[in-house]
Structure 1
Amino acid sequence: MQDDAQSILSPETMAHESFNSAAAAVDRLEALYSRATQFLSDEFLRTVSQGHPGRRLRAYYPEIRITINSFDKVDTRLSFGHVSGPGTYATTVTRPDLFRNYLIQQIELLIRNHGVSVDVGLSDTPMPVHFAVSGSAVAIPQEGVMNFSLRDVFDVPDLVTTNDDIVNGVMTRYDDGSAPLAPFTAQRVDYSLARLSHYTATDPTHFQNHVLFTNYQFYVDEFESYARAMLGDAASGYTAFVATGNQEITSPDGVLQTFTKMPQMPTYHLKRADGNGITLVNIGVGPSNAKTATDHIAVLRPHAWLMVGHCAGL
């Protein structure tokens, strides 16, 4: 879509669609997200090879919306899967492939508990090109490498709006009057996913629903020993063990490379096919690491996390 007034090229605008099936709604989210990331990836590669395109290039995150018109079906005893009162609620969504099971669970509960459909479509929140190409072979050059500013063509991460205002209770309404449907916006989630890869040297796709934190190496050693034992037990339900650098073994005698330089918070994952395995994060020394780790892992919506070791009581 060409916006002549703003000189912005975007994928063709598509109307919101209503869904009574959570799986179908997530399928639509995945299609919209894939279209946006593909557009930005293709246009970025074209811009790198051919130069400034003479206009801005922009794609938007998909979103979920739900409108409740009555208190009749509001059950405030529920801890999740419902909204607290009538109104329109919305949230932007990123990586619906990664969050598919979580999204289906939450949307199913919303549809069931309120007896209404959910709307899926494009939001008005631009997707930063850095997040669109994250995880691919495409690398974003540093500012100054190209003969024009990347910000003049693509949207980039904005730390002013990538915040915790929703979970902190500071932001209760969007500009259009809708209320937040989720604790984190898509940009906030994308930012944390990128940080997790950086800090832990493992991909967010490996993180499991149960998270342990420690700052003692011997707990890491014991965890690896336990993981190898579980991989040797066909009845354990565990399928793989992932270590630094996304090294993955599926047998108890699998070989893992050791590194002389480790990431800031080495992380290990004992995986189950349904994601209900265990992740161990060695946060090292200092409360700042603990806060950083929990701030970013929170966007993955784990079922539980626990600190093990002497410092667990502090």
Structure 2
Amino acid sequence: MESEISFNKFSCVTKCAQEQLHVEVFVKNAGLHDPVVCRSAQETIQTLEALYLASVQDLRNAVGSPSGLKELKLQFKGTYPYLGIWGKGAEHVCEVFRSWAILREDGYYGTTVTHPDLFKEYWEQQLLHLFSIRELCCVVGRSSRFIPIYFLKEDVLSHAKDISQIKGMLTMPSPKDMDDQVANGTVLWDHLAIKPLSYFPAERTDYSVTRIHHYCGTSASSFQNFILLTNYQRYVDLFFHYAKQRLSESDGVYTHWIEPKDTILSSKDMDLSRTREAGHHFQMPAYHLVSPDRNGISLVNIGVGPSNAKNMTDHLAVLRPHCWIMLGHCAGLRQSQRLGDYVLAHGYMRDDHVLDEGLSPNIPLPPVETIQKALLNSIQEICQLDDETMMSRVRCGTIVSTGDRNWELDVLNRSKTFRQCRAIALDMESGIIAANGFRFRVPYGTLLCVSDRPLHGELKLQSMAQTFYEQRVKEHLTIGIHALEALRRLGPDRLHTPELRGFQDVLFR
């Protein structure tokens, strides 16, 4: 018995010594302050929450005077919390059921974090998986990165007596700390003492959280894990009517509706909606059919063009949604297509050049199988089509995405590209939405509806367009919603497949 007790003491001492060694690595290489070793996911999250709230309160207290800010910086308070993990890699990694929270090799990983209110569920999901590993050391502390005060709520600055006196002492957002090199896969990790734990550090996340509210008119916390992207107000109107109907039902799947200006409406308040006015106030208004577990549906009217599509998905990616799907219109390029037919993208020819620096157009964008299946099944079920009719109504193939809305005026030069890539349709947004999904490891899909056939003389003129909208838009949106609800039932482990992960990737999803 004595030898067993002695052995347990030795094991405990050895473990403490190892933890101290890991802590020293984070202090030395990450500039960590006041480190704490956490031994569970819950303890880690609680510590991160406490540190973040303390930093915000310290900033709030200090902005009243220049001396307060100076003292804050000397003490390294008002900084982002830091999360560091050391883990022992598994000898064999099974990727069948999960592609994230897997340690493939021994090493140190770390990142700054922000907004515990927004990411608590996400952190818990990642950490619970990581703590299930046989050997793990989790260290939390204050980083050396001060929170730019402009990322905090406006009431923080309202505490300042004289903004002009303290402006030079405020930490400003730095573009170099918001770079997407980790997500782009351009960072070589082998030489790093501490590898990235997540795709986005705190400053990049804060930037996107503020941009989302600016463009969409709703806070980032309103967004659900399943996102539809469109560029027509008609889809918004129909989504509102769908939400109104679902909220009147008593199944409890959805609880309320959120629209721009952070207006929250219950089922009995839906007639007070100002949905039609949102476009006058916000560039890319967002609407949310909320479920208790945040697995409801958000719809964003991103407007027209690849720049808008990149802008929105750049920011939505920090929220780590389970998927996004583009519902848009396209020009059918094949003689056999008819107006109202559906196009399911199996490949993308990126001819918009908006993201060429971040992700070369030479890199193929594979279809995400689970989303493809969900969309095909939804078309067949909603439209009640047999297999033979499906083959004539739905075309699968390559979509060309262009940045030129008037591409029809240069069709002679484009015809060679159409022929060589065997394109079946052309639009403006799908290529970027898929590219950013691939780049940021967010499962993506595209379902387009043929609204014109310029190569065959059917142009989208006013009378023809109106008839198309009346006949197809409701069906199109219903298919998209039906597909998202099917994907929700699959669960995140089935959605976040290894195909979107890199050879060398971060631990967090």
- Report the TM-score range of the alignment, normalised by the length of the smaller protein: 0.7 to 0.9
Distance 2:188 2:36 in 1: 25
Deviation at 1:56, TM superposition (A): 6.1
Deviation at 1:267, TM superposition (A): 0.5
1:218-273: CA deviations, max 9, x gaps? 10001000011111011041011011111110115421235372201011000011
Specify which of 134, 137, 158 is matched with residue 155 of structure 2. Answer: 137
Distance 2:46 2:174 in 1: 28
Deviation at 1:178, TM superposition (A): 0.1
Distance 1:25 1:62 in 2: 11
Distance 1:156 1:175 in 2: 29
Q: Which residue of 2 aligns with 1:225?
A: 241
Specify which of 89, 109, 117 is matched with residue 129 of structure 2. Answer: 109
Query: Secondary structure in 2 aligned to 1:137?
Result: helix
Within a 5 Å distance, the mapping from 1:174-213 to structure 2 comes to: 177-213=193-229
AA in 2 matched with 1:68? G
Q: Which residue of 2 aligns with 1:34?
A: 53
Distance 1:175 1:85 in 2: 14
AA in 2 matched with 1:191? Y
Within a 5 Å distance, the mapping from 1:34-113 to structure 2 comes to: 34-44=53-63, 46-47=64-65, 55=70, 57-58=72-73, 59-72=78-91, 75=94, 78-113=98-133
Distance 2:69 2:231 in 1: 51
Q: Which residue of 1 aligns with 2:335?
A: none
AA in 1 matched with 2:316? I
Deviation at 1:309, TM superposition (A): 2.2
Deviation at 1:125, TM superposition (A): 1.8
User: RMSD of the alignment, in Å?
Assistant: 2.5
Specify which of 160, 164, 175 is matched with residue 147 of structure 1. Answer: 164
Name the stretch that deviates more: 153-162 or 298-307.
153-162
1:8-50: CA deviations, max 9, x gaps? xxxxx96322223111210110000000011112212x13xxx
TM-score when normalising by structure 1: 0.85
AA in 2 matched with 1:55? K
Q: Is the 8 A contact 1:22 1:108 kept in 2?
A: yes
Query: Secondary structure in 1 aligned to 2:176?
Result: coil
Q: Which residue of 2 aligns with 1:294?
A: 313
Distance 1:54 1:116 in 2: 37
Query: Secondary structure in 2 aligned to 1:88?
Result: strand
AA in 2 matched with 1:147? S
Q: Is the 8 A contact 2:87 2:137 kept in 1?
A: no
Deviation at 1:153, TM superposition (A): 1.4
Report which of the two has the higher share of helix. Answer: 2
1:44-103: CA deviations, max 9, x gaps? 2x13xxx56583644211111111245447556641012331110111110112111110
Pair 1:256-2:273 in alignment: yes
Query: Secondary structure in 1 aligned to 2:288?
Result: strand
AA in 2 matched with 1:203? S
Larger radius of gyration: 2
Query: Secondary structure in 2 aligned to 1:63?
Result: strand
Q: 1:298 to 1:256 in 2, by over 3 A?
A: same
Query: Secondary structure in 1 aligned to 2:261?
Result: helix
Distance 1:124 1:174 in 2: 23
Distance 2:69 2:316 in 1: 39
Q: Is the 8 A contact 1:211 1:304 kept in 2?
A: yes
Distance 1:106 1:157 in 2: 27
Deviation at 1:285, TM superposition (A): 1.1
Query: Secondary structure in 1 aligned to 2:132?
Result: helix
Q: 1:26 to 1:175 in 2, by over 3 A?
A: farther
Q: Which residue of 1 aligns with 2:295?
A: 276
TM-score when normalising by structure 2: 0.54
Q: Is the 8 A contact 1:267 1:281 kept in 2?
A: yes
Q: Is the 8 A contact 2:33 2:143 kept in 1?
A: no
Q: 1:118 to 1:252 in 2, by over 3 A?
A: same
Distance 1:263 1:164 in 2: 26
Distance 1:250 1:146 in 2: 40
Q: Is the 8 A contact 1:41 1:129 kept in 2?
A: no
Q: 1:42 to 1:248 in 2, by over 3 A?
A: same
Distance 1:86 1:29 in 2: 24
Pair 1:127-2:147 in alignment: yes
Pair 1:160-2:168 in alignment: no
Q: 1:75 to 1:61 in 2, by over 3 A?
A: farther
Query: Secondary structure in 2 aligned to 1:238?
Result: coil
Q: 1:296 to 1:54 in 2, by over 3 A?
A: closer
Q: Is the 8 A contact 2:231 2:302 kept in 1?
A: yes
Pair 1:23-2:42 in alignment: yes
Q: 1:61 to 1:148 in 2, by over 3 A?
A: same
Within a 5 Å distance, the mapping from 1:298-309 to structure 2 comes to: 298-309=317-328
AA in 2 matched with 1:16? P
Q: Is the 8 A contact 1:52 1:153 kept in 2?
A: no
